[in-house]
Amino acid sequence: MAPSGCLKGLFLIKEEDTDVIVVGGGGSGLAAAIEARTLSRRVVLLEKNPKLGGSTAWSVGSISATNTPHQIRMGIQDRPEDHFEDLGLFCKKTGLPDNLALRRILIDNVSDTFRWLISMGVVFHGPLQQAPHRKPRMHNVLPNSRAYIYHLGRHARRIGVDIRTESRVHELMVEDGVVVGVVYRQGETVHRLRAQGGVVLASGDFGGNATMRENYISKAVSLARPINPTNTGDGHKLVEALGGKILNQKHHLAGVRFAPPPEKWILKIPPYAWVTRCISWSLENMPSWLLRPFVMSFLTTVLQSSPELYRQGAVLINRDGCRFNDELGDPARHLPDQPKGEAFILLDGRLVDLFSKPPFHISTAPGIAYGYIDDYRRSRKDIFYQADDLRGLAKRLGMDAEKLSKTVDEYNQNLSSQATEVSNRGERSPLSGGPWVALGPVSYYITFTDSGVATNELHQVLAADGQPVVGLFAAGFIGMGGMLLEGLGHHLGWAFTSGRRAGRHAAFRVVTPDVSAHDKNT
């Protein structure tokens, strides 16, 4: 159908058609678009933000997989079956129902996905160990997670994917129960875009939607700050409008995290092949103490503070210098209620020394490095404050020195008047002499919601009666289908794997309307 337009009200309405529509320009959306285009289908990718990225660009960037070139090169003998079982050990602690059929799809296909990413130009370091995995399986992207978007976005454009940013989908077009396209707005123009093959929702989670967080999780979680505020559950709402279900609604990841790092020139370096090869060689051959400042400077994610800080005696203080919480209970409780929703982690000289070396770390950049005092002093000057005494620290923080001193005195008195608070590794001690350090601000952040819509093994969205919604597929966070993805490196593995498969099955419908007739192992 040739594009046409007419003026209606203040908006120009354009009618277009294509073969496959992908909603979302993160890792899963780009994978879906590339796969469908590789099958010679016309593909339009719609991203509501000004640029591609999604939650993939905010991630640490690890992928866990077996039988990778990296494992083989290191002589590591591993099996997908063992990976399947080990992932179950991670997920068992949640007490939630799991979708083992989708877990099997992930584990059996993620190795091929890993090689596919390498073929796109992505470079990995590893594998690294993470318990309870019985073998090293975690591979980290170099130099950081933005490399995925750089390489996949460039490849998608090169092969002819029609990428349209600032294009927000508002409605699914449905005819006789079949999804035949979308209605989206780009600027002042409303588009009615039809798809012969289908629509792939790769729209992320609903972590950026406070109303949905309150409705599905809790009032407290609704107050958390989203790491990706543009993940507003748009796809979830589209599916609900068709009678679909959101599974594991309360499952999410949230905690006390540091503010995002400021933009640095080093983060703007494109992940060119020569750059990533140099970094990879350095990680394998140069001493870690020499590389640490460089590696830490590449972190783009919002790092979570270690619970061990509070167990060993660190306290949270608000911008007025007052302690407001029982850190050993729930450090995030009452944090959103503080001025600006922020606090600082206060450490005395004993804690500064303790968290300057293993085994105690301030935060973890999984598989890359543990963050210690010197790392924050060097790489995160924007959130590191130090002084010899409390008065000097209060001045640096813009706090009332008397209030801060009173807070420390009251905390110490409470410890001495009560039974000693015992942690897993020792006793919580009073705060005494300097040097005093405050880290922050920290806030209560929600990383993501693990609440995908119901799907089948072909990544088709399911209606209320459990039957597939013909022409509608889901991948990534929204396409989790009740599967649990605990442990590092599984969410990204699923994003790319499910994206490729969903894009493939949507492409099949262009010439084969009944996609369910295809082999499920395709």
Cα–Cα distance between 293 and 266 in angstroms, integer? 12
φ/ψ of residue 85, rounded to 5? -70, -40
Cα–Cα distance between 347 and 353 in angstroms, integer? 10
What distance, in Å, lies between the first and last C-alpha atoms of the chain?
31
| Residue that has been written with the tokens 């159908």 in this structure | 1
Q: What one-letter code names the amino acid at 237?
A: K
- Show the tokens assigned to 514: 């009944």
Does this chain's domain 6-254+450-517 share its CATH topology with 303-446? Answer: no
Q: What one-letter code names the amino acid at 16?
A: E
Cα–Cα distance between 485 and 100 in angstroms, integer? 11
Q: DSSP characters for 196-225?
A: EEEEEE----STT-HHHHHHHT-HHHHTSE
Residue 417 binned pLDDT confidence (cut-offs 50, 70, 90): low
Q: Which CATH architecture has domain 303-446?
A: Alpha-Beta Complex (3.90)
Handedness of CA 484, 489, 493, 496 (dihedral sign): positive
Q: Note whether 476 and 503 are within 8 A (CB).
A: no
Tens of pLDDT along 298-316?
454 567 889 999 999 999 9
Give the chain's length.
Answer: 522
Burial class for 82, CB neighbours closer than 10 Å (0-12, 13-18, 19+): middle
* Mean model confidence pLDDT for the chain: 89
Give the per-residue pLDDT at 210.
97
Tens of pLDDT along 447-495?
999 999 999 999 999 999 999 999 999 999 999 999 999 988 999 999 9
Query: What is the pTM assigned to this prediction?
Result: 0.88
CATH classification of 6-254+450-517, choosing from 3.30.300.130, 3.40.50.2300, 3.50.50.60, 3.30.1540.10? Answer: 3.50.50.60
| Residue that has been written with the tokens 């770390």 in this structure | 361
Mean pLDDT on 34-63: 95
Cα–Cα distance between 381 and 376 in angstroms, integer? 7
The structural domains of the chain, with segments of one domain joined by +, span: 6-254+450-517, 303-446
φ/ψ of residue 164, rounded to 5? -120, 110
For the chain, how big is the Rg over CA atoms in Å? 25
Q: What percent of the chain has pLDDT over 70?
A: 87
Cα–Cα distance between 167 and 52 in angstroms, integer? 11
Give the per-residue pLDDT at 59.
87
Mean pLDDT on 113-135: 93
Give the per-residue pLDDT at 5.
41
